[in-house]
Amino acid sequence: MAKFHVIVPAAGVGARMASAVPKQYLPLLGKPVLAHAIAACLQHPRISSVTVVLDANDAYWPSAGIPPADKLRVLYSGGATRADTVCNGLLALDAELHAQDWVLVHDAARPGLTITLLDRLLDSLQDDVVGGLLAIPVADTLKRADVAQRVLNTEPREHLWQAQTPQMFRYAILRQALAAARLNGTPTDEAQAVEALGYSPKLVAGELRNLKITYPQDLPLAAAILQADQQA
């Protein structure tokens, strides 16, 4: 039976966040963002392992206070791009993964993932040949801008979705896709690399709460969402 393994690329510098420490280590309700991001995966009974891939020179993990766990492992082998970081994680797991096993790639900067969202993803995709990703349909009117930030035109939004993570693919397909993508360009997510092989990943309904911390204003939003959970 195919197993479910999680890789968490956590080697980014968070340039758009422009904080003193990388955003995955910023405090969020008393714990680093990264601790929230991996919590649901660690708790989920169907997830076999969670591998966090840090920058080779990461100096923050030892003092981040993230407790060890049986299925948690930490690698200091991040790459120059997210795709490189994920590839390095896959390489380290190669000996224990089978071609049909599932790999879920989840951003270290998405602290709002829940067991419910993971269940939805796993249940929707476990019998799929390829895999897919959490995503949410675009809800606003879309404008294309010129260089002066004036509207060129309004883009149709039908059938447009915003990609989230986890992105879940069969190990053999993901490995092949990322190896090819590294030669041909830099995909911004795993699905893009898989699409380039000619596959059509399935979109599974995500939720706004699974937002990515990208800009400073995202952190208080995430805090409000998680605080509401604690009060519920």
Ligand X SMILES: C[C@](O)(CO)[C@H](O)COP(=O)(O)O
Interacting residue ranges for ligand X, rule: CB under 6 A: 107, 163-165, 188-189, 212
Cβ proximity to ligand X, 127 vs 214, nearer residue: 214
Q: Are 206 and 121 in contact (CB under 8 A)?
A: no
- List all residues 6 or more positions away from 92 whose beta carbon is below 8 Å from its beta carbon: 51, 75, 77
Cβ proximity to ligand X, 9 vs 32, nearer residue: 9
- The mark string for 104-123 relative to ligand CTP (x by CB under 6 A, - otherwise) is ---xxx--------------
Q: Does 13 bind ligand CTP (CB under 6 A)?
A: yes
- Integer angstrom CA distances of residue 104 from 17, 52, 87, 144: 25, 12, 13, 32
Q: Give which of ligand CTP, ligand X, none residue 163 binds (C-beta under 5 to 8 Å, depending on kind).
A: ligand X
CB of 231 to ligand X, least distance (A): 27
**Interface region with ligand CTP, contact rule CB under 6 A, candidates 4-12, 41-49, 192-200, 216-224:** 4-12
Burial (CB count <10 Å: 0-12, 13-18, 19+), residue 73: middle
- List all residues 6 or more positions away from 15 whose beta carbon is below 8 Å from its beta carbon: none
Q: What residue ranges bind ligand CTP (CB under 6 A)?
A: 9-17, 24, 78-82, 85, 107-109, 212, 214
